[in-house]
Amino acid sequence: MEKSSEKKRSQKRVNLKEIMRERLNLFQDWLYIGKPELMREYFSDLLFDEFGSDYFDKLSERRYREYINQNLPKKPISGQENANGIEPQKTANDKWDRDCYFQSVIPDEAFEDSEIAKKYGEKLRELREEQRLSLEDVANYSGLSIQNIQLIEAGKRKRIDRCRLLLFCGVYQVPPEYLLGFMELKGTMPIEYMSKETSTKVDFILNSLVSKDEELLFVFYKLALEDVKIRKKAISFLSNIPILKVFTPLRALRYIEEHKDQAKQRPKSVEVKPQQDNWKETGNFILSGTAALADLDKQTPILLNVFVSIIASPEETRKAVVQILKLAGFVTDGIPANEENV
């Protein structure tokens, strides 16, 4: 009997791993909330080829150096504190911990807190109703069973499984901190409060497309303004187009670093009149477009990686993607997409 139970548990772990690997693109920006050993086991081989080295090590080093450069407070990385409990000053040359990437504002105890688990379930149900998703929809998107989703929404699960949390982040395109009550999502994020990473991506997108490929920029702008449910469908749809290779967050930043100077170059002859009449309705389109793209940071950040991936593609692929999005009903000429179209 014990062997049978252990076999079933092992099979569930295998199934969960397969489900997560299939849906990696939907929650990749939030892998830091997972257990380091599991995330490495599940995804290292999928992410290794792009860098020729450990993806999570790269993220840990990058995150550590950002903390140092920005002088932000953080948990001790090496476990060394002084008598006052304050982390000693570090320099960018100090040794970084290979699991630094997995540090989070969410304490480990939160995942065992039944009250947080209850509120987590309430938040999931609230999001499902807001996005007009059925239990069957969520089951299809997440790969979890309807019964499992019902138990979590009802607060019957007294602990929070990190892997399932990531799947729900992918379904609703919200960060784990929001689902567990450690942050609130607000409306359009003021441009001055964009994270450095988001600002880098938004600037690159605008520099690459303004006066160069206005049709593609218009498509990005329209998608950024769409309902979260439609944006989520677009991410899943674009991630499965064979002609498009969707970048990981680090690969997107690396591509930007390699091509940022080229993106800033303006064509010798710039046509002043926009290609789309709808642009006139936005007034100052650059400001509006920047705000719309920046807002994706808290709602559907993976879409920014998708946009950078499209820009990095050959011209014929970019044109094909635009046509595919129009044919699929995600973007229409001047008419916002709706759930019936998509």
Q: Give the mean pLDDT of 176-187.
A: 80
String of DSSP letters for 82-140: -TTSPPPP--TTS---TTGGG--SS-GGGGG-HHHHHHHHHHHHHHHHHTT--HHHHHH
Residue 6: predicted pLDDT: 47
Is residue 185 a contact partner of residue 174, using CB atoms and an 8 Å limit?
Answer: yes
Q: Give the mean pLDDT of 172-192.
A: 71
Task: Give the separation between CA 308 and CA 300, rounded to whole angstroms.
Answer: 14
Residue 93: predicted pLDDT: 43
Residue 199: predicted pLDDT: 82
- The predicted-structure confidence for 269-282, as pLDDT tens digits, reads as follows 444 444 444 444 43
Q: Which of 22-36, 85-99, 293-307 has the lowest mean pLDDT?
A: 85-99
Is residue 209 a contact partner of residue 216, using CB atoms and an 8 Å limit?
Answer: yes
Residue 49: pLDDT above 60? Answer: no
Cα–Cα distance list, 28 to 48, 59, 66, 168, 304 (Å): 14, 12, 19, 12, 12
Residue 195: predicted pLDDT: 67
Q: Give the mean pLDDT of 227-232.
A: 83
Task: Give the separation between CA 227 and CA 336, rounded to whole angstroms.
Answer: 10
Residue 116: predicted pLDDT: 93
Residue 136: pLDDT above 80? Answer: yes
Token look-up 């990473």 returns 197
**Which pTM was predicted?**
0.56
Task: Give the separation between CA 164 and CA 167, rounded to whole angstroms.
Answer: 5
Residue 60: predicted pLDDT: 78
Every domain of the chain with CATH number 1.10.260.40 lies at 2-80+87-179
Residue 161: predicted pLDDT: 94
- SS3 of 270, please? coil
Residue 308: pLDDT above 90? Answer: yes
- Output 217 or 10, whichever has higher pLDDT: 217
Residue type, 26: L
- Output 48 or 36, whichever has higher pLDDT: 36
**Average per-residue pLDDT for the chain:** 76
Determine the straight-line distance between the first and last CA of the chain, rounded to whole angstroms. Answer: 48
Residue 167: predicted pLDDT: 93
Residue 342: predicted pLDDT: 53
Task: Give the separation between CA 228 and CA 172, rounded to whole angstroms.
Answer: 8
Q: With respect to CATH, is domain 2-80+87-179 assigned 1.10.260.40? A: yes
Q: Give the mean pLDDT of 60-76.
A: 59
Residue 339: pLDDT above 70? Answer: no
Residue 120: predicted pLDDT: 96
Handedness of CA 183, 188, 192, 197 (dihedral sign): positive
Q: Give the mean pLDDT of 84-100.
A: 50
pLDDT band at 16 (very low <50, low <70, confident <90, very high): confident
- The predicted-structure confidence for 194-225, as pLDDT tens digits, reads as follows 567 788 888 899 889 887 888 898 889 888 88
The torsion of the CA quartet 228, 202, 176, 34, rounded to 10 degrees, works out to 130
pLDDT band at 290 (very low <50, low <70, confident <90, very high): confident
